[in-house]
């Protein structure tokens, strides 16, 4: 069932009285990464809602909002194959009002704490996580799911959404799912479509760097600078590194030394496509 209107979603979900509802929020252009979240939701819940919404307020003015891939027909087909009960694909006007200026001058935004935002992706993507939290809370209020499914691929996003849910007492359980990769190691992303064949090869560097950091940690190196320095041998002039960090995976705090709670996170541009990836150093 494909639905564009908020009221219709609310009415449908209401008719599922007593059943456990799972929500998978996405921006569409679905790939196996998204499908893994949907599969997990199907396993865990009685009814599954997938939202498909390229959220304008989480894109900066110089980002790829206009050219972000939009493939609703194919996405709906994939969702139907997976047994999704409802696909919610609202227009921006349905979410934010007709002709509404999209800014925090005129709209209520959810602003996650500076400590979580002022690092990693938030450092260069000003306002991104305000946009994410705002749309995620709206989706939670529209769908009222028991559980919501997010990918570790966007590790900072999950930590921030969990923090929002805790701080605002939102009655939903956040379930994190592992990163799905191509056999080559490349983490699946809707943005991989922008890469040329050569770009895809250069993009493999991200997972190679992360795997090597993990291997070095497993060999006993815990000095964070030493672990980060192992990346330099992999980077070429085809890589525009934005950040490489090793932090506590639950709190995103800096650590004195790497331990089993550490996560290594990388963001790097290849052919001007911004790619992110991460890996847990412990199990
Ligand atoms: P997006 O459509 O990019 O906003 O992603 C929607 C959800 O799918 C987010 O929770 C992402 O973390 C998750 N996701 C995206 N790529 C992957 C992947 N390769 N493996 C697992 N989850 C993913």
pLDDT of residue 99 exceeding 80: no
What pLDDT is attached to residue 105?
Answer: 83
What pLDDT is attached to residue 103?
Answer: 83
| pLDDT tens column, 201-241 | 999 999 999 999 999 999 999 999 999 999 999 999 999 99
pLDDT of residue 152 exceeding 90: yes
- The reply to whether 128 belongs to the active site is no
Decide if 256 contacts 227 (C-beta within 8 A).
Answer: no
CATH 3.40.50.620, the chain: domain bounds: 2-177
Active-site residue identified among 4, 34, 128, 239:
34
pLDDT of residue 252 exceeding 90: yes
Q: From the CA of 18, how far away is ligand 1's center (Å)?
A: 28
pTM of the shown model: 0.97
pLDDT tier at 283, thresholds 50, 70, 90: confident
- For ligand 1, atom 11, the nearest C-alpha belongs to 151
CATH 3.30.1300.10, the chain: domain bounds: 190-280
Point out the ligand 1 atom lying closest to the alpha carbon of residue 190.
3
What pLDDT is attached to residue 98?
Answer: 85
What pLDDT is attached to residue 56?
Answer: 96
Residues at CB less than 6 angstroms from ligand 1: 26-27, 33-34, 36-37, 150-151, 153-154, 177, 179-180, 187-190
Note the CATH number of domain 190-280.
Answer: 3.30.1300.10
| pLDDT tens column, 7-44 | 999 999 999 999 999 999 999 999 999 999 999 999 99
| pLDDT tens column, 160-169 | 999 999 999 9
Note the CATH number of domain 2-177.
Answer: 3.40.50.620
Q: From the CA of 151, how far away is ligand 1's center (Å)?
A: 5
Point out the ligand 1 atom lying closest to the alpha carbon of residue 30.
2
pLDDT tier at 89, thresholds 50, 70, 90: very high
pLDDT tier at 132, thresholds 50, 70, 90: very high
pLDDT tier at 102, thresholds 50, 70, 90: confident
What pLDDT is attached to residue 263?
Answer: 98
For range 133-139, the mean pLDDT: 98
Q: From the CA of 28, how far away is ligand 1's center (Å)?
A: 10
**Could you tell which of 22, 30, 32, 37 is best to mutate to test the pocket of ligand 1, judged by most ligand atoms within 8 Å of the CB?**
37
* Residue-averaged pLDDT of the chain: 97
Q: From the CA of 140, how far away is ligand 1's center (Å)?
A: 17
Q: What percent of the chain has pLDDT over 70?
A: 100
pLDDT tier at 49, thresholds 50, 70, 90: very high
């Amino acid at each position: 069932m494909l639905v564009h209107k908020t009221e219709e979603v609310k009415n449908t979900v209401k008719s599922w009285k007593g059943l456990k509802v799972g929500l998978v929020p996405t921006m569409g252009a679905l790939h196996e990464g998204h499908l893994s979240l949907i599969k997990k939701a199907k396993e865990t819940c009685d009814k599954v809602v997938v939202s498909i919404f390229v959220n304008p307020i989480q894109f900066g003015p110089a980002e790829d909002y206009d050219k972000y891939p939009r493939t609703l027909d194919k996405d709906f087909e994939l969702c139907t194959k997976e047994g999704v009960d409802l696909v919610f694909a609202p227009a921006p006007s349905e979410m934010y009002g007709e002709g509404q200026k999209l800014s925090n001058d005129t709209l209520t935004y959810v602003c996650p704490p500076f400590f979580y935002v002022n690092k990693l992706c938030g450092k260069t993507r000003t306002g991104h996580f305000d946009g994410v939290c705002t749309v995620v809370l709206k989706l939670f209020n529209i769908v009222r799911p028991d559980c919501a499914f997010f990918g570790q691929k966007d590790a900072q996003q999950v930590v921030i959404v969990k923090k929002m849910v805790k701080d605002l007492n939102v009655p939903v359980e956040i379930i994190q799912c592992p990163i799905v990769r191509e056999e080559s190691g490349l983490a699946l992303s809707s943005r991989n479509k922008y890469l040329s064949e050569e770009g895809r090869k250069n993009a493999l560097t991200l997972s190679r760097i992360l795997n090597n950091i993990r291997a070095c940690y497993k060999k006993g190196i815990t000095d964070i600078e030493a672990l980060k320095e192992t990346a330099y041998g992999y980077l070429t002039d085809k890589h525009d590194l934005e950040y490489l960090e090793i932090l506590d995976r639950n709190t995103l705090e800096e650590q004195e030394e790497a331990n089993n709670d550490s996560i290594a996170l990388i963001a790097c541009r290849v052919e001007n496509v911004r790619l992110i990836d991460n890996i847990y150093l412990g199990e």
